[in-house]
């Protein structure tokens, strides 16, 4: 039981509305649950989101990434939206159907809700299976909790596939981390994701925080600075169910 997280929820609950009663019930059950034993740390290919978010990357890099995902049977590739058609083309050639995930409003989370929804809908229309969307950070830092929650709820309601919310925990203080996790979970997100990797690395203690909030209701994606099998297994023991990394093949060596 995380007393600080419970206090954060008691403070936040009266200030926000619009979330589903089911998520609220799950959250309160998760917060009161006893600490569980560490998860099995076995890393399997299906847990890996093979990632290419270098703004200087070219089509050849995307092809290589997707071919590696095919060969290694990774769970997903994670790319910029402009590469959806290329990823689908390569997936069509092989036997393994990896998911196509794309980042939205990355890495700053500074677009309006209208633009964010449009971008999410366009990505799914183009064939993406999943979106990784950044928390609206400027609004979050301004204390606009209801606005942040409504933004995330609207995105989830308009999405036709899996939504992962990137919380950028490496840039937040402990209180902000707790609040961000609570808001993202209440929005109905399918996954809570630690960070973009731009402002710092994933941390096992942050993964544990997300797992405490989410329980088994939604997945946990650890991303940022995960370069080795040991890095990945540390995150899995903390509760991660997905690993975002540009070093996928190396993790399995």
The catalytically annotated residue of 164, 179, 211, 221 is: 221
The 3-state DSSP class for residue 50 equals strand
Q: Both tokens of residue 102?
A: 């794309």
Instruction: Establish whether 22 is a catalytic residue.
Output: no
Query: What pTM did the predictor assign?
Result: 0.96
C-alpha 87, offset from chain centre: 20
Pick the CATH number of 3-11+44-251 from 3.20.20.70, 3.40.47.10, 3.40.462.40, 3.90.105.10: 3.20.20.70
Peptide bond into 124 cis (omega under 30): no
Backbone angles phi, psi at 207, to 5 degrees: -60, -40
The active-site residue out of 2, 49, 129, 132 is 132
The DSSP letter of residue 36 is P
List per-residue pLDDT tens for the chain, 253 residues long. 789 999 999 999 999 999 999 999 999 999 998 776 666 678 999 999 999 999 999 999 999 999 999 999 999 999 999 999 999 999 999 999 999 999 999 999 999 999 999 999 999 999 999 999 999 999 999 999 999 999 999 999 999 999 999 999 999 999 999 999 999 999 999 999 999 999 999 999 999 999 999 999 999 999 999 999 999 999 999 999 999 999 999 999 8
**79 bridge partner residues:** 102
Alpha-carbon separation of residue 115 from 93, 144, 199 (angstroms): 33, 18, 23
> Is 193 annotated in the active site?
yes
Residue 24 appears among annotated catalytic residues: no
How far apart CA 63 and CA 86 sit, in angstroms, is: 7
What is residue 39's predicted lDDT score, i.e. its pLDDT?
Answer: 61
Q: Which of 164, 193, 211, 234 is catalytic?
A: 193
Angle between helices 145-158 and 113-125 (to 10 degrees): 20
């Amino acid at each position: 039981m995380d007393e600080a997280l419970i206090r954060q929820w008691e403070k936040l609950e009266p200030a926000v509305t619009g979330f589903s009663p089911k998520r609220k019930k799950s959250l309160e059950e998760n917060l009161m649950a006893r600490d569980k034993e560490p998860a099995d740390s076995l890393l399997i290919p299906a847990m890996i989101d093979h990632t290419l978010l270098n703004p200087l990357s070219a089509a050849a890099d995307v092809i290589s990434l997707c071919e590696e995902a095919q060969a290694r049977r990774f769970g997903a590739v994670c790319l910029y939206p402009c590469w959806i058609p290329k990823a689908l083309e390569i997936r069509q050639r092989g036997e393994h159907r990896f998911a196509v995930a794309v980042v939205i409003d990355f890495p700053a989370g500074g677009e309006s809700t209208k633009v964010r929804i449009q971008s999410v809908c366009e990505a799914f229309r183009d064939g993406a299976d999943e979106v990784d969307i950044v928390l609206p950070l400027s609004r979050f830092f301004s204390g606009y909790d209801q606005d942040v929650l409504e933004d995330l709820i609207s995105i989830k309601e308009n999405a036709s596939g899996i939504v992962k919310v990137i919380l950028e925990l490496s840039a937040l203080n402990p209180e902000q981390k707790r609040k961000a996790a609570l808001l993202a979970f209440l929005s109905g997100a399918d996954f809570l994701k630690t960070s973009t990797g731009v402002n710092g690395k994933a941390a096992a203690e942050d993964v544990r925080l997300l797992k405490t909030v989410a329980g088994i209701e939604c997945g946990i994606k650890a991303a940022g600075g995960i370069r080795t099998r040991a890095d990945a297994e540390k995150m899995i023991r903390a509760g991660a169910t997905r690993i975002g990394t540009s070093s996928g093949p190396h993790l399995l060596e």
